[in-house]
Chain A
Amino acid sequence: SQTIHQWPATLVQPVGSPLSLECTVEGTSNPNLYWYRQAAGRGLQLLFYSVGIGQISSEVPQNLSASRPQDRQFILSSKKLLLSDSGFYLCAWSAEEGEKLFFGSGTQLSVL
């Protein structure tokens, strides 16, 4: 069966520090991968999606970047965090032809 792992669960970082959140998927090949952010009082905002290794598309301009160094690994990064980067970050995957998203358990990021 397929599983998705996302870590860390919580993270407190000072403004200006770097960020690296990692997400891995097991039990499937060539998944579509996604990073969403859930800010307080707002819905989930799609940040990045990837349909293959090295293929990253950004939905909104921002202080963050994403990389997909391996088929089932998706990394969210920042060189210098801003206060506005605080939020709940969710990684998700879907099968190539499927509509259903499978989510990780999320990372609560607090930038202070």
Chain B
Amino acid sequence: GDSVTQMEGPVTLSEEAFLTINCTYTATGYPSLFWYVQYPGEGLQLLLKATKADDKGSNKGFEATYRKETTSFHLEKGSVQVSDSAVYFCALSDSGGYQKVTFGTGTKLQVIP
């Protein structure tokens, strides 16, 4: 079945540091890929998505490129801020008739001033 593997956290970075959170996936079809973010005390919200190979999703300075050849969707940001501290989830959705989304385990990011 479908699965998502992402790097374990927590990840601790200083403000303005470069961020990479690795994510790889296994899927039988051609899934859409997502990054969701969960700020402290809140539910998840969509950060960015890519629906086909070589697409780049971007939002709030975060980027991720759909790499079919390496089955990866790594999240990057050039300069993190304290407000980026959150848990980040990589996810994929299959092409079924409903939106079944498979999530990774989440990576906690802590940015210190």
Binding site for B on A (CB under 8 A): 4, 6, 32, 36, 38, 41-44, 46, 49, 51, 59, 90, 92, 94, 98-106
Contact = CB atoms under 8 A, between A and B. Distances in A.
Contact of A101 (B101, B105, B106): B101
Given A43-B105, A44-B103, A46-B101, A90 B44 contact: yes
Contact of B103 (A43, A49, A59, A98): A43
Main secondary structure of the interface of A (DSSP, over half): strand
B49 A99 contact: yes
A103 B98 contact: no
The 4 closest A-B pairs by CB, nearest first: A103-B43, A44-B103, A43-B103, A103-B44
A104 B38 CA distance: 11
Given A43-B104, A94-B99, 7 more contacts: A32-B98, A44-B103, A59-B100, A92-B44, A100-B46, A100-B49, A102-B45
13 contacts: A32-B99, A43-B89, A43-B102, A43-B106, A44-B44, A44-B103, A46-B101, A92-B44, A99-B51, A100-B46, A101-B36, A103-B44, A106-B43
B100 A46 contact: yes
Interface string B44-58: 111001010000000
B76 to A, nearest CB: 21
A62 to B, nearest CB: 17
Given A42-B105, A43-B4, A43-B89, A105 B98 contact: no
Contact of B98 (A36, A43, A49, A104): A49
